A and B are shown apart, each in its own frame.
Chain A
Amino acid sequence: MSILIDEKTRVMVQGLGRDGSFHARQMKDYGTSVVAGVHPGRGGSVFEGIPVFDTADEAVGKTGAQCSVLFVPAPFASDAILESANAGVGLVVAVTEGIPVLDMSRVAQELDELDTRLVGPNCPGLISPGKSKVGIMPGNIFSRGPIGVISRSGTLTYEVVNQLSLAGYGQSTAIGMGGDPIVGMKYNDYLVHFERDAETELVVIVGEIGGTDEQDAAAFIGQHVTKPVVGYIVGRSAPPGKRMGHAGAIISGADSTAEAKVNVLREHGIPVADTVEQIVDLVAAGLGG
């Protein structure tokens, strides 16, 4: 098992520009069931054996796509998310970086009324190793196993996963939930799925400065998660008021510091690693107990 995506998930790629084309091929090579491309003006063509449509509606109607991964440029991305959602796609993964926050607020309100879940934006996507990859992660560093991973970052996720894989701890599903102030699903939404997933035995959450999602996760884990959880928070050395790359990674109050997040996780009995290497030790301990 795994969560949200597996080998049967029918995936369409929105936006076949340079990045979209490259990663459509990468995903297909990984084994993802890529059934359609959507690119206005290129309907009727075929890319790498994948039929391309002008609109999401057509793509869903003709191919039964259930999941869309978005490489649409930021000015048009929020509309493209809503296009997929309104076409009946159940899971939208927005890789696009730089979407205005008020656009995302409007998207979030509308998604509440639809039956669509959103991963991202500004995220590397998600992967169920050996089954399906929807996003831009390097597939070869992932391996199949019992660890669920939820992270706000990209390369840091790879770093963490690489160390887990090398130590023999494969992953059921690994998710980069996105580095923006407003993202679709958050830790708690994923934790619900991991808690129910028979393959997942332990969840690693990788957090950072900004917002209070990690605090919400700590409280949620205390009440609703029986599986062991290991935490890791970055940005302990970040100055307040400065944006650390990610639009959402900015310390704007006492609650959004790394220190506050580490403390709350520990108060809820969740072990927190000081370095990436320590995550592996804490995972070993968590599985052993």
Chain B
Amino acid sequence: MKLEEFQAKKLFREHGIPAPDGVMVTSAADGKTAALALGCPVVVKAQVKTGGRGKAGGVKLARTPDEAFSAADSILGMDIKGFRVERLLIDPAVPIAAEYYVGITIDRKRKIPVMMVSASGGMDIEKVAAETPEKIHFQPVHPERGLRFFEAKKLAFRLFSDSREVMAAASIMVKLWKCFNDLDATLAEINPLARLEDGSITALDAKIVLDDNALYRHPGMEELRLPTPSEKKELGAKSHGLSYVQLEGEIGCMVNGAGLAMATMDVIKHLGGTPANFLDIGGSSNPEKVVHAMELLVSDSNVKAIFINVFGGITRCDDVANGLVQALSGIDLEVPMVVRLTGTNEEEGIRILAGHGITALKDMTRGAAEAIRLAREGSVGR
């Protein structure tokens, strides 16, 4: 679960990390009011869960409350990489002397958290990592011992020379680790961490990604969820035990298992089609789940054909087929559908489906090709 900047900054401040105490607003008028209250200049920042918003024009400096109004007015409603801007953060503007990067995430290879710092702040850190990896410094953090001050200090000396600045930065790093650990985050990032003209160190941006698997022990965090329209659909699917991600293609997919679902999307793409979604209905053939899954697929107006791809393992194919028949009997389908069923008792499963007028085959690539063909036929026919 990704948090927005204003939420992450609040959590940072609660953990003792200095960050501008701005105001979140949802209208240009409130933006102006906030600018008046904070005192100008202010920075007007789009709250979207994606990088590169500065380049997209989603961050503007305003010298007067009226400028704050027009900046807010122009940014609200903007589309940044597919995210519509609905909220703004109005932060007091501060005089920046230098920008740095500080972040902590999980190192999958070493299986422990790792703190990363760089003097190349304010930039896309993945670009820095790819082009000039020597500019990033790492410190693995033992998950039981945590980040010790001497480890943080070692990193801080890579970025600062003034000893007061080193101590201030090291203290922020230790607090960032505590924040990461307390919240069960998978990412906590300050980019940029700024040295201001008066020598103080402060977090000018904030990014936190929480571990979805750990949310059960942070019940309060659920209230911070601000889902975008597509995320709302994904969350609704999740409440029915479905894992769904909407894409922009034409072939609606329903698959049991995440790996097989990805393989299904890939084979559609490989054959020149476009998958409309990722949808994993899990291991069982529970008819209720299939009904919810079908509802998701038919609610997507891009979908021109549906491809159901099921591997019957412990759940036998004849059971899966009966579940599908039961689920589909209550649905009025307007788009063509192909079912691919394989595994234990596949012949029997395919026979059951055929008896109900449902095209079923046992080869995945042929099934995908058939769905693509029907989608094209359908769109030509209209």
Task: List residues of A whose CB falls within 8 A of some B CB.
Answer: 26, 74-75, 98-106, 108-109, 136-138, 140-141, 151-159, 162, 179, 181-182, 206, 208-209, 211-213, 216, 234-239, 241-249, 253-254, 258, 274-277
CB distance from A274 to the nearest CB of B (A): 6
Pair A157/B108 contact, Cβ less than 8 Å: no
What are the residues of chain A within 8 A of B121 when measuring CB–CB?
A: none
Contact with A along B299-332 (1 / 0, CB 8 A): 0000000000001011000000000000000000
Q: B-side interface residues toward A, CB under 8 Å? A: 50, 106, 108-109, 111-113, 126, 129-130, 142-144, 181, 184, 186, 211-214, 216-217, 243, 245, 247, 255-263, 265-270, 275, 278, 280, 283, 311, 313-314, 342-344, 363-365
Known: A102-B143, A245-B257. 7 other contacts (CB 8 A): A101-B214, A109-B111, A152-B259, A155-B257, A213-B108, A237-B247, A245-B243
Q: How far does the alpha carbon of A98 sit from the alpha carbon of B280 in the complex, in Å?
A: 16
Whether the pair A276, B364 counts as a contact (CB closer than 8 A) is yes
- Contact residue among A158, A181, A213, A216 (Cβ-Cβ distance under 8 Å from B313): A158
Bound Cα distance A157, B343 (Å): 12
Rounded to whole angstroms, the CA-CA distance of A31 and B268 in the bound complex is: 39
Query: Are the C-beta atoms of A108 and B111 separated by less than 8 Å?
Result: yes
Q: How far is the CB of A108 from chain B (nearest CB, A)?
A: 4
A236 to B54, CA, bound (A): 29
A74 and B343 in contact, given A155-B313, A156-B260, A179-B258 (Cβ under 8 angstroms): no
Chain A residues, Cβ within 8 Å of B243? 245
Are B144 and A159 closer than 8 Å at their CB atoms? Answer: no
Q: Which residues of B contact A216 (CB under 8 A)?
A: 109
User: Beyond A109-B144, A153-B258, A153-B260, is A245–B111 a contact (Cβ under 8 Å)?
Assistant: no
- Chain B residues, CB < 8 A from A246: 258-259
Task: Using A138-B313, A181-B106, A253-B126 as known contacts, say yes or no to A275 and B144 having CB atoms under 8 A apart.
Answer: no
For B343, the chain A residues whose CB sits under 8 A away are 138, 141, 158, 162
Residue pair A102, B214 in contact (C-beta under 8 Å) = yes
Cβ of B106 and Cβ of A105 under 8 Å apart? Answer: yes
Are A157 and B259 touching (Cβ within 8 A)? yes
Give A26 to B186 CA distance when docked, in angstroms.
36
With A and B bound together, what is the CA distance between A237 and B109 in angstroms?
24
Q: B112 and A109: CB pair below 8 A?
A: yes
Contacts known (A153-B259, A234-B266); A141 close to B214, Cβ less than 8 A = no
| CB proximity of A85 to chain B, nearest CB, Å | 15
**CA separation between A244 and B344, bound complex, in Å?**
26
Q: Which residues of A contact B108 (CB under 8 A)?
A: 181-182, 211-213, 248
Q: Give the 5 A-B CB pairs with smallest separation, nearest first.
A: A153-B259, A245-B258, A155-B257, A156-B259, A138-B313
Among A102, A181, A277, which residue has its beta carbon within 8 angstroms of that of B365? A277
Q: Considering the chains assembled together, what is the distance between the CA atoms of A158 and B256 in angstroms?
A: 11
Known contacts A235-B266, A275-B267, A276-B263; decide if A109 and B313 are in contact (CB<8 Å).
no
Q: Is B258 a contact partner of A141 (Cβ separation < 8 A)?
A: no
Cα A234 to Cα B266 in complex, Å, equals 7
Query: Which residues of chain B have C-beta atoms less than 8 A from A234's C-beta?
Result: 259, 262-263, 266
B72 to chain A, nearest CB (A): 27
A110 nearest in chain B by CB position:
B144
Complex Cα distance, B213 from A108, in Å, reads 17
The residues of B that contact A242 with a CB separation of less than 8 Å are: 245, 278
Q: Answer whether A249 and B181 are a contact pair too, CB < 8 Å, given A141-B344, A162-B343, A239-B247.
A: no
Instruction: Give the residue name and chain of the A residue nearest to B313 (CB).
Output: A138
Which residues of B sit under 8 angstroms from A26, Cβ to Cβ? 314
B268 with A155: CB separation less than 8 A: no
- By a CB distance below 8 angstroms, the chain A residues around B262 are 156, 208-209, 234-235, 237-238, 244-245, 249
Alpha-carbon separation in the docked complex, A242 to B83 (Å): 14
Chain A residues positioned under 8 Å from B260 (CB to CB): 153, 155-156, 159
Of B243, B259, B267, chain A has the most CB atoms within 10 Å of the CB of B259
Quick one: which of B129, B259, B261, B268 contacts A151, CB cutoff 8 A? B259
Q: What is the chain B residue whose CB lies nearest that of A104?
A: B111
**Please, how many angstroms separate the alpha-carbon atoms of A254 and B256 in the complex?**
28
Bound Cα distance A69, B314 (Å) = 18
Q: For A206, A209, A241, A248, which residue has the most chain B Cβ atoms within 10 angstroms?
A: A241
Looking at the assembled complex, report how far the CB atom of B251 sits from the nearest CB atom of chain A, in whole angstroms.
11
Q: B275, A237: Cβ atoms under 8 Å? A: yes
Q: Are B181 and A102 in contact (CB under 8 A)?
A: yes
Give the one of A101, A109, A155, A158 with max B CB within 10 A.
Answer: A155
Q: By the criterion CB–CB under 8 Å, are B259 and A237 in contact?
A: no
A282 to chain B, nearest CB (A): 15
17 residue pairs of the A-B complex, CB under 8 angstroms, read A74-B213, A102-B106, A102-B184, A103-B214, A109-B144, A140-B344, A141-B344, A153-B257, A153-B258, A154-B259, A154-B283, A155-B259, A155-B283, A155-B311, A159-B260, A159-B364, A181-B186
- B217, B256, B363: which contacts A155 (Cβ < 8 A)? B256
The reply to whether A245 and B278 contact each other, CB–CB distance below 8 Å, is yes
Q: Which residues of B contact A136 (CB under 8 A)?
A: 314
Do A244 and B245 have beta carbons less than 8 Å apart?
yes
Which residue on B lies nearest to A154, using beta carbons?
B257
Q: Which residue of A lies closest to B185 (CB)?
A: A102
Q: Which chain B residues lie closer than 8 Å to A181 at the CB level?
A: 106, 108, 186
Q: Please name all residues of chain B whose beta carbon is closer than 8 Å to the beta carbon of A137 when the two chains form the complex.
A: 313
A101/B311 contact (C-beta < 8 A), A106-B144, A244-B262, A277-B364 known: no
Within the complex, the shortest CB–CB distance from A213 to chain B, in Å, comes to: 8
**Chain A, residue nearest B183 (CB):** A102
Contact B258 A106 (CB under 8 A): no
Q: Would you call B181 and A105 a contact (CB within 8 A)? A: no
Partner of A237 from the list B266, B311, B365 (CB cut-off 8 Å) is B266
Question: Could you tell me the distance between the alpha carbons of A239 and B186 in the complex, rounded to whole angstroms?
Answer: 19
Cβ of A74: which chain B residues have Cβ within 8 Å of it?
Answer: 213
B213–A156 CB distance below 8 A? no
* B184 with A100: CB separation less than 8 A: yes
Instruction: With CB as the reference atom, state the residue of chain B lying closest to A209.
Output: B262
